[in-house]
Amino acid sequence: MTDLARAKVRLEAALEELKIRQQRIADDLDEPLNADSSEQAVEVQDDVPLEQQAALLAREIGSVNRALARIEAGTYGQCVLCGDDIAPARLEVRPEASLCIDCARKEH
């Protein structure tokens, strides 16, 4: 299997996993609040991190989808900012990486 094919398999697996987690969070958020008002306060508070998790997941799903689109477009492994090759070791850790290490450092 080529590195590109392997990256695609990993990204597709990651996407599935992220979607399952997103669905689980959506289900949790949909859960009707407990009728007991003292319980309700606790549940509302618990919803805050869940919503943050949902936002984070949505962002990750976006990154993975864009990486898959770059595979289709033949630009996978190139930095979206400077066009340099992204180090294979970096793609190994983060197959959805869109920036080379230099640009990623500048972003933060």
> Which is nearer to Zn ion, 57 or 77 (by Cβ)?
77
* Minimum distance of Zn ion from residue 58's CB (angstroms): 24
> Which is nearer to Zn ion, 35 or 93 (by Cβ)?
93
Is 13 one of the binding residues for Zn ion (CB under 5 A)? no
Is 100 one of the binding residues for Zn ion (CB under 5 A)? yes
* Minimum distance of Zn ion from residue 83's CB (angstroms): 7
Among 50, 54, 87, 103, binds Zn ion (CB under 5 A): 103
| 24 membership: H or E segment, kind and range | helix 3-30
* Minimum distance of Zn ion from residue 108's CB (angstroms): 13
Return the closest-CA partner of residue 65 out of 22, 8, 6, 104: 8
Q: Which two tokens stand for residue 91?
A: 């793609």
Among 21, 81, 90, 94, binds Zn ion (CB under 5 A): 81
Cα 11 to chain center, whole Å?
Answer: 10
Is 79 one of the binding residues for Zn ion (CB under 5 A)? yes
The string of DSSP codes covering 28-94 is HHHSPPPSSHHHHHHHHHHHHHHHHHHHHHHHHHHHHHHHHHHHHHT-TTB-TTT-PBPPHHHHHH-
Residues that bind Zn ion (CB under 5 A): 79, 81-82, 84, 100, 103
